[in-house]
């Protein structure tokens, strides 16, 4: 009698253990499935801040100032005021349009373009120090394209000119503007030019410069 009861208890325990193991196995499979399919990471494409573009904006403003300096018609004081004004104007214009994680995004918006008429951003900086857009247009090249992107600033003079790099930095590097961005020394047009560099954007891309 006792042996029969023990046998029945053993069979009941075995059945319960088997059910428990099956349930636990299903739970582990479910947990593993959740780990494999887990939530997808979202890429953050929020615009950078003004501090993120200091080096690039300084390089661009310094380059334009050096072009003006080469004409010899503006004083050092005027050049300094213009450079400061252009840096401020560019920083304001690029607000909400600076993407360090996607440097090419918004490149057309940030592009500075003189194409037989003055770029509005340069004209705005000139007006702040009492210079007219007409005067600036007479002092700068009639065909000038300046790309100001995160980690790289480059330019082209003329429709068929080479793409030349003014400033270049590795992604996410905290660097100050290179010496080519200052307005102190004479400018060498052949410096860092890439004869086979970046392909020129199409015309409609170049003209996408919003105020």
Q: State how far the alpha carbon of 188 is from the alpha carbons of 35, 51, 155, 158, in Å.
A: 58, 28, 13, 16
CA–CA–CA angle 95, 135, 189 (5° rounding)? 70
* Cβ-based neighbour number of residue 18 at 10 Å: 10
Distance CA 196, CA 4 (A): 92
> Tell me: the pLDDT tens digits for 158-188?
988 899 999 999 875 544 443 344 443 334 4
* Average of per-residue pLDDT values in the chain: 74
Cβ atoms of residues 181 and 62 within 8 Å: yes
- What are the pLDDT digits (tens) for 70-98? 999 999 999 999 999 999 999 999 999 99
What tokens were used for 144?
């000038």
Q: Are 153 and 165 in contact (CB under 8 A)?
A: yes
- Measured over the CA atoms of residue 187, residue 189, residue 190 and residue 193, the dihedral's sign is positive
Q: How far apart are CA 130 and CA 57, in angstroms?
A: 22
The alpha carbons of the chain give a radius of gyration, in whole angstroms, of 31
Average pLDDT for residues 115-128, to the nearest whole number?
Answer: 93
- Domain ranges, ordered by start, for the chain: 1-40, 50-206
Q: For the segment 29-59, what is each residue's pLDDT rounded down to a tens digit?
A: 545 444 455 444 444 456 667 678 999 999 9
Nearest to 62 by CA among 156, 172, 186: 186
Kindly report the CA angle at 68 between 130 and 79, in degrees rounded to 5?
50
- Domain covering 50-206, topology: Actin; Chain A, domain 4 (3.90.640)
Instruction: Output the CA angle 201-204-205, nearest 5 degrees.
Output: 40
Please state, in angstroms and as integers, the Cα–Cα distance from residue 20 to each residue in 8, 29, 194, following that order: 18, 14, 70
In this predicted model, which residue has the larger pLDDT, 151 or 128? 151
Beta-bridge partners for 157: 144
Lay out the sheet containing 163-168: strands in order across.
112-115, 143-149, 152-157, 163-168, 193-194
| pLDDT at 171 (0 to 100) | 73
Which pLDDT score is estimated for 42? 46
């Amino acid at each position: 009698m006792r042996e029969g009861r023990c046998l029945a208890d053993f069979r009941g325990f075995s059945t319960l253990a088997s059910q428990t193991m099956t349930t636990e196995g299903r739970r582990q499979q479910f947990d593993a499935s959740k780990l494999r399919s887990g939530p997808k990471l979202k890429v953050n494409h929020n615009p950078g801040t003004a501090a993120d573009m200091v080096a690039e904006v300084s390089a661009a403003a310094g380059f334009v100032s050096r072009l003006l300096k080469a004409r010899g018609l503006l004083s050092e004081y005027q050049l300094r005021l213009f450079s400061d004004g252009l840096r401020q104007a560019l920083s304001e214009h690029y607000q909400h349009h600076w993407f360090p994680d996607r440097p090419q995004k918004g490149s057309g918006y940030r592009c500075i373009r003189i194409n037989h008429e003055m770029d509005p951003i340069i004209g705005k900086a000139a007006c702040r120090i009492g210079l007219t857009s007409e005067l600036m247009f007479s002092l700068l090249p009639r065909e000038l394209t300046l790309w100001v992107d995160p980690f790289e600033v480059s330019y082209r003079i003329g429709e068929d000119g080479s793409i030349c790099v003014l400033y270049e930095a590795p992604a996410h590097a905290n660097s100050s503007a290179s010496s080519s961005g200052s307005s102190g020394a004479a400018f060498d047009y052949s410096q860092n030019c890439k004869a086979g560099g970046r392909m020129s954007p199409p015309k409609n891309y170049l003209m996408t410069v919003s105020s």
